[in-house]
Structure 1
Amino acid sequence: MIVLAIDTAGTGCFAAVYDSGDDRVLASAGADIGRGHAEQLMAFIDQALAGSGRMLADIDRIAVTIGPGSFTGIRVGVAAARGFALALGVPAVGVSVLAALAASARQVHPAQAVLAAMDAKRDELYCQVFEADGTPRTEARIVELSDAPSLLTGFDGIICGSATHHLTSEPVPGVSQADACDIAVIARLGAMADPALGKPSPLYLRGPDVKSQAGFAVARA
């Protein structure tokens, strides 16, 4: 299976073409751009396709990060994935950033449960616990920093992600304390995902920072 993987959930904008049969990324492209995902994503996809020697017609599945992360970036990636899937007549699947972080941690320390924890700012964390085989033990949720210690009750495993320092003073060596996902891991999880679960949808966990000012709307004539 040839998978086109897309990651726009954070400050990075990445695309990769992955062959699940060989478990190999054929080519990837992207950069940590901060903003401007909508303007640059298609160019990165073109670069990844060119580098892989494949065309859009060769793609069997689209995989995209669905969050948590940047509201705008997630919308851009999910919209692109669903558009490509519709045009090509192939499935599109969503990959949680928390699941991707946990999968990367398990590559370093296999056969251990993982608590993926991202700094959501405003004294809050995005978090989810995964079993050693990658199965979710809990739902993805947002937790206040003051309640963070409760996440460790009964937990015997490793912690990864940018909120690691809020949960332990002794991070596990080699395990990432950042929220940047490995595009190869995203592609691999996308290849294993079940398309029957439906089209990818954003995993926000929190409402948008910008709200419409309905009380200040100007009435139409």
Structure 2
Amino acid sequence: MSSDAPLILGFDTSAPHCAAALLRGTEILIQHQEDMARGQAERLMPLLEETLAEGGATWADLDAVAVGIGPGNFTGIRISVSAARGLALGLGVPAIGVSSLEAQAFGTAGVVVSSLDARREGLYVQVFGTLTGSQPGHCTLDTLPSDIPAGTEPTCLGHRANEIAALCAGTVATARYPVAEAISRVAATRLGRIDVPPPAPLYLREADAAPSRDTPPALLDD
């Protein structure tokens, strides 16, 4: 892979993990994913620095940063989104937000039903690969999106995929890429576009009553 190919640092803390990947063109140079229920705020920047160092790069080499915007853990999303916006401002590079649902579906052909755990029997669901497109939503197994095309045998990925597949006559598969790699690859398809807004948290339900022990940093305004 040419050293002139765009270099993208992607990361995500929208779930109980801290994940990062370094993408050069179409090649993943290095990636890490550490499971953790809390502590992402303290771990994220050291992990990004380690990822850059192991990939033989520095902050100044980056052409963009890519970040998971959720849906998922409210505090975790704010941690990574605010970090991405701060890095973009400091480095003078674009920050590109990618939803967790899109990252999970990326690289899977045909109609895809991507689902994530929203807790309390809830699901975050989005349908990809249809002509009309679909918006992400919060639902249950009893209230799945009505825009899953009949007769398409969609591929179902993620939380409770087996049950969703049974309800919509689909098949079950696993995500093609780890989350940080997928975020980086989706961002690469958007690099250079002028219609990409700054990343912002994607919240699809109200926050739980009990606050997280991690205090999220404030989001930076452009």
Q: Which residue is equivalent to 2:136?
A: 140
Q: Which residue is equivalent to 1:219?
A: none
Mapping 1:82-97, distance limit 5 Å: 82-97=85-100
Instruction: Return the index of the structure with the highest Cα Rg.
Output: 1
Q: Does residue 15 in structure 1 map to residue 20 in structure 2?
A: yes
Q: Which residue is equivalent to 1:182?
A: 179
**Structure 1 residues without counterparts, runs of 5 or longer:** 213-221
Provide the secondary structure at the position in 1 that maps to 2:90: helix
Deviation at 1:152, TM superposition (A): 4.5
Q: Which residue is equivalent to 2:79?
A: 76
Counterpart CA distance in 2 for 1:63 and 1:14 is 12
Provide the secondary structure at the position in 2 that maps to 1:42: helix
**Which of the numbers 158, 163, 167 marks the counterpart of 1:166?**
163
Q: Deviations over 1:22-53 (max 9, x none)?
A: x1111223311121110100111011011011
Instruction: State how many pairs are aligned.
Output: 200
Change (3 A) 1:171 1:155: closer
Amino acid at match of 2:141: L
Counterpart CA distance in 2 for 1:69 and 1:91 is 23
Provide the secondary structure at the position in 1 that maps to 2:125: strand
RMSD: 2.4
Whichever structure has more helix as a proportion of its residues is 1
The percentage of aligned residue pairs carrying the same residue is 36
Mapping 1:1-221, distance limit 5 Å: 1-20=6-25, 23-104=26-107, 106=108, 110=109, 112-131=110-129, 137-148=133-144, 150=146, 152=148, 154=150, 156=152, 157-169=154-166, 172=171, 175-176=173-174, 181-193=178-190, 194=193, 196-210=195-209
Counterpart CA distance in 1 for 2:140 and 2:129 is 23
Counterpart CA distance in 2 for 1:152 and 1:205 is 19
Amino acid at match of 2:69: I
Q: Deviations over 1:164-189 (max 9, x none)?
A: 1331348746x228xx9432211110
- Answer yes or no: is the 8 Å Cα contact 1:75–1:202 preserved in 2: yes
Provide the secondary structure at the position in 2 that maps to 1:34: coil
TM-score normalised according to structure 2 size: 0.81
- Answer yes or no: is the 8 Å Cα contact 1:114–1:130 preserved in 2: yes
**Structure 2 residues without counterparts, runs of 5 or longer:** 1-5, 212-222
Amino acid at match of 1:113: V
Deviation at 1:211, TM superposition (A): 7.1
Counterpart CA distance in 2 for 1:149 and 1:55 is 43
- Answer yes or no: is the 8 Å Cα contact 1:29–1:45 preserved in 2: no
Change (3 A) 1:155 1:210: farther
Change (3 A) 1:136 1:89: farther
Counterpart CA distance in 2 for 1:136 and 1:73 is 31
Change (3 A) 1:151 1:204: same
